[in-house]
Structure 1
């Protein structure tokens, strides 16, 4: 994959995100074609009261997919709304695959909370190589392609640079973004809340004494916060590939790192096997850590600190079992 090809794909994703931006804003403010609330139609998704879909989700995904089919007729398409409605039964291949979330953070969108946006990612060989996240209400456009850097509104990421950008050595110096998810079964909520409790609890009681826990309501804004340097970590079990495929590219190109998010709490995994594993974007478990500068006189220490923080986190969060996306 040449740099020119990646630039072409990135340009396409940017163009598409900007093209549907006005419809996104109209829907958010209930104006224009979405001024009639009966037409807006926020519905429970597949009978789940905690998850919803709107006419805007469907309109934006349909528009983006129609354009992609014109431009790249041989490429595969995976989208939140069409995939969810078809039972998530697509086959994952090495072919170029566009992964789209038309409205990430739909609950935020419905409740007029601005941390919501459009996510367009491209995977080749099952790995994400292009990512665009557009948060229209915040007027933030995040763009990245493998090896070409990451930017927000043409400013290079991370936005926060040294010396303001610190090199944390423990969770007690970190802010974490995560989500409560749409699976509200008692077992899942007990597991998730147990992990949050341990993350926040003081170290003398076996916790991580996390400095701050934030829930913004969407994986895309979560990952942009980490890429900017406004949060140290993002961890979640349960999001789908369309929630974070684009964000992974942006995070990695900003100097961050991503790993498998399956926690070790309550398991019998031997200590010598408790090492952060590579991320598989289709497995719905992710932990991401921001760029960390090297400590003075210690080249490479930033990467070591990233893995150290992830290991500390995974030691005290519990894995939640989810069916992987697609058929691998």
Structure 2
């Protein structure tokens, strides 16, 4: 316990701390990035996909991540250089490169601005028209991302989520052999509020070419 206590005294970033007025700037200091209830709307409606997401960052790089899918009783873990697991079973992404053979996961999001909705629905229409195999959504970013890590889905994309939605699952995907990209196709930025998580670089880059980007305020924006 004495060895563990110093870890608990590190900096925290989460939805609750930001709501309380604390900043969400990611520094080089060891930092916990936590979402205690990922899938709040699911929780309210008793829709059975709710997760706890925990990520730990040092020097702005994720060291490990944990996602617990509560109703399913599935514990996903990933540690840098040590692999990714679900309830002790090693995870491996599908490795799919062909977008026409891909099952994607995403969300409609919570923003009901008509212009934003137009982009969200237009992106889905473009992807379905390629055509891809299909699109699924379970209502929690962390579980959606873990589905990519298991190989059950081939890629996930979303715009409008927050760093605490992605931090825990991101390293689980990369340790399972997947990749993280920005929706522009560039390097992934945890504070950008947008992500592509794919089973291969080829698939991620192809997906990025189809997406219209939604303008967003960054998590680390000062005002």
* TM-score, normalization by structure 2: 0.92
Q: Higher mean Cα deviation, 192-201 or 312-321?
A: 312-321
Q: Which has the higher strand share?
A: 2
Q: Secondary structure of the equivalent of 2:192?
A: coil
- Among 180, 183, 186, the residue aligned to 1:277: 186
Flag as ranges the 4+ runs of structure 1 deviating above 6 A.
Answer: none
Q: Secondary structure of the equivalent of 2:54?
A: strand
Q: Which has the higher helix share?
A: 1
Q: Give the conservation status (yes or no) of the 8 Å contact 2:14–2:164.
A: yes
The aligned length equals 221
- Among 108, 122, 125, the residue aligned to 2:56: 122
Q: Give the conservation status (yes or no) of the 8 Å contact 1:227–1:256.
A: yes
**Displacement of 1:311:** 2.0
- Among 208, 217, 222, the residue aligned to 1:323: 217
Q: Secondary structure of the equivalent of 2:191?
A: coil
Aligned pairs for 1:131-210 (under 5 A) are 131-158=65-92, 165=94, 168-201=96-129, 208-210=130-132
**Displacement of 1:73:** 6.0
Query: Per-residue displacement from partner, 1:196-219 (whole Å, max 9, x unpaired)?
Result: 000001xxxxxx211110111110
Report the structure number with the largest CA radius of gyration.
1
In 2, the alpha carbon distance for the partners of 1:237 and 1:200 equals: 18
1:249 maps onto 2:146 in alignment:
no
* Higher relative contact order, structure no. (Cα contacts within 8 Å, ≥ 6 residues apart): 2
Structure 2: 5+ residue runs without aligned partners? Answer: none
1:309 maps onto 2:203 in alignment:
yes
Q: Give the conservation status (yes or no) of the 8 Å contact 1:105–1:217.
A: yes
- Among 183, 195, 198, the residue aligned to 1:286: 195
1:80 maps onto 2:15 in alignment:
yes
Q: Give the conservation status (yes or no) of the 8 Å contact 1:127–1:281.
A: no
**Displacement of 1:71:** 3.7
**Displacement of 1:169:** 3.7
In 2, the alpha carbon distance for the partners of 1:129 and 1:261 equals: 23
Q: Give the conservation status (yes or no) of the 8 Å contact 2:179–2:204.
A: no
Q: Give the conservation status (yes or no) of the 8 Å contact 1:181–1:238.
A: yes
Structure 1: 5+ residue runs without aligned partners? Answer: 1-7, 13-69, 202-207, 263-275, 291-305
